[in-house]
Chains A and B, each alone.
Chain A
Amino acid sequence: MTTLTKTEDKPAPTGPEAFLSVRDLRVAFSTEDGVVRAVDGLSFDIERGKTLGIVGESGSGKSVTNLTVLGLHNRKTTDIQGEIILDGQELTTASEKEMEKIRGNKAAMIFQDPLTALSPYYTVGRQLSEPFMKHRGASKKEAKDRAIEMLAKVGIPQPQTRFDDYPHQFSGGMRQRAMIAMSLMCDPELLIADEPTTALDVTVQAQILDLLRDLQQEFGSAIIFITHDLGVIANMADDLLVMYAGRAVERGSVREVLSEPKHPYTWGLLSSMPRLGGDTSEALVPIPGTPPSLLNPPTGCRFHPRCRFRDEVPGDLCSTERPLLADGRAAACHLTGEQKQSIFIDQIKPRLG
């Protein structure tokens, strides 16, 4: 790699309100084929009660980041650098015992596929009660009451009888509801939702998304919402982080990023998506090429082999130097602010309608 290994991403000012703060996180797995740098220098903050959306394609490192936050990675084969600070506690160096105290208690996770994330061997009720008994020292009876209360809250009909059912007796949407109920058992302050609705139908997805949003208002948890669907993010998140090949390429509030995106990758994502209100006579504009392999990622800006605008950057800056992602509203791109503005207004915006 000829890339300059400069420490980019100057840590954003860690305000007292940042509940979870990830600083220059690097995650690398050693595999048979070589070292996969799944996350490469990622920083973000999230406040209590807010939702951070992370968007990216498969292999962009969005799920790995969040598995690392909860310490669900394989410790033997994974190399982690950087800082993850949850409510003042450093998690990258925390022991397995300490992580166990956090998981399901202070921070909980909602997985993509509820059929594989729930154990087929235990009843739904037992799986819900377990974290409550473990973390709160509650009796079986108390845990059961709490589980039934939560099942009712997420809209499972007849929660008393459903408590003793097995996951296979639930439909897809109900399983996802049960998983949400499970994640909320201990009033977590951080909820990580990893593609929670990707496996569901649109009408059920709409129900689940609204439910999550309403529950967040009630519980006040911070949510990290991971998805590949910009539409879902527009409905759910306050802030948005766009990831590509293990790095954050753009950051800002959802409104800013969606109405005035600044990174060529975000432009590409938005103009390759058909919309319900769009002009059907216009062809979609796909991003050329395919996402890179993380075994051997491109040098410089990782998006440069697929970028339409790299010729506008003088010299070979794009292929040699990694663009920095500044604090706050920013995009990691070598194009100047004026260039971005004029390209967006002249070429991108008309297509988005």
Chain B
Amino acid sequence: MSENVTLPQQGAKQQGEALLKVEGLQKHFPIYGGFPFKRQVGAVKAVDGVDLTMFAGESLGLVGESGCGKSTTGRLITRLLEPTGGKIEYAGQDITHAKRKQLAPIRSEIQMIFQDPYSSLNPRQTVGTIIKSPMEVNGINPPGGREKRVRELLETVGLNPEHYNRFPHEFSGGQRQRIGVARALALQPKLIIADEPVSALDVSIQAQVVNLLQKVQEEMGIAFLFIAHDLAVVRHFSQRVAVMYLGKVVEVADRDSLYNRPRHPYTHALLSAVPEATVDGPQRERIRLAGDVPSPINPPTGCRFRTRCWKAQEKCATDEPPLVQISGNAEGHLTACHFPEEPTIKGGKEVVLDPALASLESDSK
């Protein structure tokens, strides 16, 4: 297979300068134990070697199941967490271990939208104060004053500017998320990390917030790292999508390639598991994995997906597959797999690894 391999740096080459470059990013949370002296007995390898490149103004989706490290990756990029290893480069500047002072100008350019609109707004502050405070912290004085700017922002996100003096509890979940968006926009950022921005909202409200984010992204040219577990929402929002599994990116590609021509078995399994609200839709493949995601405390050697993969061979346990462009893939479509799947999601294929399902279904046949 090695003759097919091109290095990821070459594969990821695209128009424009990379806004954010992440290489081999790691975050290990230590576990302490023992008596009488607590010492480190292990580590949760939440993020373990993530490579990502983001370009100015693009929207990159990051999908994966819970515990795969997608939120941690987002928090590392905003430097809310200190990376254990690897490198984060923002606009050509290494910010991996940058100090507070060095980070100050960059912090205003990278903003975050959180998942839970109930816990991410201070209940004691008015909406005005919440949206204003990033400007106060960064000493920004927009023409016409901060209050005027806040009222403009409220209007941008579809709230009434007269809500300036209200408190968060007076708003519904969707409206609160709009306040969170307004706060993130207050500093005119270049990059917004949106960590599951719609998953706490009702279906009918989700679309309102997704449309708002899309409007903001297109009109202001802000790059978005859109972290979510809902593959359909990510597909709708992002031009490129990265799939994470147990702390690593296993596949990254433009939207069409990833959803129509996925190569990594895990991406196939994820896509086949999404329930679709149609009764006569096109037949899709059916892949039912066995069990849950393994613990990131002691992840499998080699390829991390091998314990749940139907194609795993000895090589998968010993060699970790690099994230590269496999032959037959479009440029920028990188996959970390020794034995990639056919690039199709057409029906007919059936893989049932779950023992209970397999036995029940063989009985009924």
Residues on A lying within 8 angstroms of B by beta carbon are 57-58, 152-155, 157, 171-174, 177, 201-207, 209-211, 214-215, 217-218, 228-235, 254-255, 258-259, 268-270, 272-278, 280, 283-288, 290-291
Contact = CB atoms under 8 A, between A and B. Distances in A.
B204 A201 contact: no
B277 A230 contact: yes
7 contacts: A201-B229, A203-B65, A203-B270, A231-B277, A234-B278, A272-B204, A276-B232
| 7 shortest interchain CB distances as A-B pairs | A155-B356, A231-B275, A272-B207, A286-B207, A206-B273, A274-B236, A201-B65
A218 B364 CA distance: 8
B273 A258 contact: no
Contacts of B275: 205-206, 209, 229, 231-232, 234-235
Given A203-B273, A205-B275, A285-B207, A211 B293 contact: no
Contacts of B214: 283
A58 B202 contact: yes
Contact of B259 (A155, A217, A276): A276
B356 A153 contact: yes
B297 to A, nearest CB: 13
Interface stretch (B85-93, B134-142, B281-289, B324-332): B281-289
Contact of A155 (B172, B208, B357): B357
A210 B292 contact: no
B205 interface: yes
Nearest to A256: B279
A174 B292 contact: yes
A348 to B, nearest CB: 14
A272 B356 contact: no
A276 B276 contact: yes
A280 B204 contact: no
B248 interface: no
Interface in B164-223: 172, 174-175, 202-208, 210-211, 214
A226 to B, nearest CB: 14
A323 B19 CA distance: 55
B276 A231 contact: yes
Name the prevailing secondary structure of the A interface residues.
Answer: helix
A228 B203 contact: yes
Nearest to A280: B236
B314 interface: no
Nearest to A279: B236
Interface of B: 65-66, 172, 174-175, 202-208, 210-211, 214, 229, 231-233, 235-236, 255, 259, 269-282, 288-293, 354-357, 360-361, 363-364
A210 B354 CA distance: 10
Nearest to A352: B278
Contact of A214 (B206, B269, B361): B361
Given A152-B356, A210-B357, A275-B278, 9 more contacts: A171-B291, A201-B293, A206-B273, A207-B290, A258-B278, A275-B277, A284-B210, A286-B207, A291-B202
Select the residue from A177, A210, A287, A291 with max chain B CB neighbours within 10 A.
A210
B255 A286 contact: no
Given A204-B292, A231-B276, A274-B233, A57 B203 contact: yes
Given A218-B360, A274-B232, A274-B233, A259 B280 contact: yes
Contacts of A273: 203, 207, 232, 277
Given A157-B355, A234-B279, A276 B235 contact: yes
A214 B288 CA distance: 13
Nearest to B275: A231
A278 B232 CA distance: 9
Contacts of A232: 275
B288 A202 contact: no
Contacts of B356: 152-155, 177, 211
Given A202-B231, A274-B233, A284 B207 contact: yes
B182 to A, nearest CB: 18
Given A275-B277, A290-B172, A202 B207 contact: no
A274 B235 contact: yes
A155 B357 CA distance: 8
A206 B272 contact: yes
B279 A258 contact: yes
A157 B307 CA distance: 15
Contact of B354 (A155, A205, A235): A155
Contacts of B291: 157, 171, 173-174
Contacts of A233: 277
Given A211-B357, A258-B279, A217 B232 contact: no
B204 A268 contact: yes
A228 B202 contact: yes
Nearest to B269: A203
B274 A231 contact: yes
A210 B274 CA distance: 13
B204 A255 contact: no
A215 B172 CA distance: 40
Nearest to A290: B172
Select the residue from B175, B204, B210, B289 with max chain A CB neighbours within 10 A.
B204
A203 B65 CA distance: 8
Contacts of B232: 273-276, 278
A334 B356 CA distance: 48
A256 to B, nearest CB: 9
Contact of B203 (A214, A218, A269, A276): A269
